[in-house]
Amino acid sequence: MPEGDVVWRTAQRLDKALGGRDLIGCDLRWPSLATVDLSGQSVLQVVSAGKHLLTRTSGGQTLHSHLRMEGSWYVERTGDPGGRRSTAGIRAVLTTNEWTAVGHKLGMLDLVPTARERELVGHLGPDLLGPDWDPVEAERRLTENPDRELGAALLDQRVLAGVGTFYMAEACFLARLTPWSPVRDVADPGEFVALVHRLLDVNKERVDQVTTGDLRRGRQNFAHARSGLPCLRCGGTVRVAMIGTPPQDRTAFYCPGCQQGPAPTDDGRPQKPLGSGRRKQGSTYRTRR
């Protein structure tokens, strides 16, 4: 699932292709937008806000899209017959003289007056890759509810805009806390917020997402999508469980050897990870170290 860095890069690519250019074609294959035609307008700018994409036009309108699970925007030369991949999932085609942007399997598409963009993205927490990134406000929002599970707080776009399951798992690993640990167990929330920001920032310009500093395949990240594999740090087995309440629950990968704090067991109750010391009978949470 695309996270903030991918969405940021998509906005950069779209802005380079469309920004300042006139639309000579517009095909929005979305029920509520079937009659909308933006051709004749020019694209002023394409920006990202967390995981949202905002394409602003000279007509004072913003085409808002969200990639959700498997969406993407790609750019091809206008009129390039070989450029189109699959036509089945195409939801939007914006054409300029030189470049055509194609929105594929988009999770959301709507059109609002640019003046009302806030209604779409005003609820978001500080945008990790935004020009107005605000670490102080991010720390405030993160620590607002100290009992909340760290992983769930990170995934909440009202806390920090741009984190998905990949950066959540990696940030928790680097903090040596399981995703089910309460936020209050983060030793230095300011430093932690800076770490999350750094993770997205160093990866925003490249396709591979690297959190280990090691660019070799299979060694690029510590926890995410590595369940059953040996931990790169301790050699123990990386595990996976769900975090959050269905249907909004998400996968969370972690290493029981490296990360302290509660973790779900097969019967669904959180308990201390295996191998991390004594546990009192009947005590399912360890809330403080």
Closer residue to Zn ion (CB): 109 or 232: 232
Q: Residues binding Zn ion: what is the number (CB under 5 A)?
A: 7
Looking at 9, 51, 239, 286, which residue is catalytic?
51
SS3 label, residue 246 = coil
- What backbone torsions phi and psi does residue 126 show, to the nearest 5 degrees? -50, 135
Q: Work out whether 175 is an interface residue with Zn ion (CB under 5 A).
A: no
- Is there a catalytic annotation at residue 3? yes
Unique residue bearing structure tokens 């993770």: 199
Work out whether 255 is an interface residue with Zn ion (CB under 5 A): yes
- The least CB distance from residue 263 to Zn ion, in Å, is 13
DSSP state, residue 207:
S
Nearer to Zn ion, 131 or 235 (CB): 235
According to the binding rule CB under 5 A, does residue 257 interact with Zn ion?
yes
- Start-to-end CA span in the chain (Å): 33
Nearer to Zn ion, 154 or 231 (CB): 231
Is position 2 annotated as part of the catalytic site?
A: yes
Tokens of 241: 């469980």
Cα dihedral 224, 225, 227, 230 sign: negative
Site string for Zn ion, 217-246 (x = CB under 5 A): --------------x-xx-x----------
By beta-carbon proximity to Zn ion, the closer residue of 21 and 233 is: 233
Among 43, 223, 258, 263, binds Zn ion (CB under 5 A): 258
How near is the Cβ of 183 to Zn ion at its closest, in Å?
22
Q: Which stretch binds Zn ion (CB under 5 A): 8-16, 37-45, 67-75, 251-259?
A: 251-259
Q: Which of 105, 184, 198, 250 is catalytic?
A: 250
The residue number with the shortest CB distance to Zn ion is 231
Closest CB 236 distance from Zn ion, rounded Å: 5
Asked if 90 touches Zn ion (CB under 5 A), the answer is no
Cα distances from 53 to residues 1, 109, 236, in angstroms, run 15, 10, 39
Instruction: Report the residue number, 205 or 214, with the smaller CB distance to Zn ion.
Output: 214
CA gap 226, 235 in Å, rounded: 12
CA distances from 223 to 141, 157, 226, 229, 252 (A): 25, 21, 5, 9, 9
CB 55 within 8 A of CB 20: no
Report the SS3 class of residue 201.
helix
- Least separation in angstroms between residue 234's CB and Zn ion is 3
Q: Own/partner pairs for 220-229, CB < 8 Å, 24+ apart?
A: 221/166, 221/170, 222/169, 222/170, 222/173, 222/174, 222/255, 222/258, 223/169, 223/170, 223/172, 223/173, 223/253, 223/254, 223/255, 224/165, 224/166, 224/169, 224/170, 224/253, 225/166, 225/253, 226/253, 227/253
Sketch the per residue contact string, 109 through 148, with Zn ion: x for CB under 5 A, - otherwise: ----------------------------------------
Q: Whole-number minimum distance, CB 179 to Zn ion, in Å? A: 14
Smaller CB distance to Zn ion: residue 243 or 258? 258
Q: Kindly list the residues in this chain that would bind Zn ion in the complex (CB under 5 A).
A: 231, 233-234, 236, 255, 257-258
The residues annotated with a catalytic role in the active site are: 2-3, 51, 250
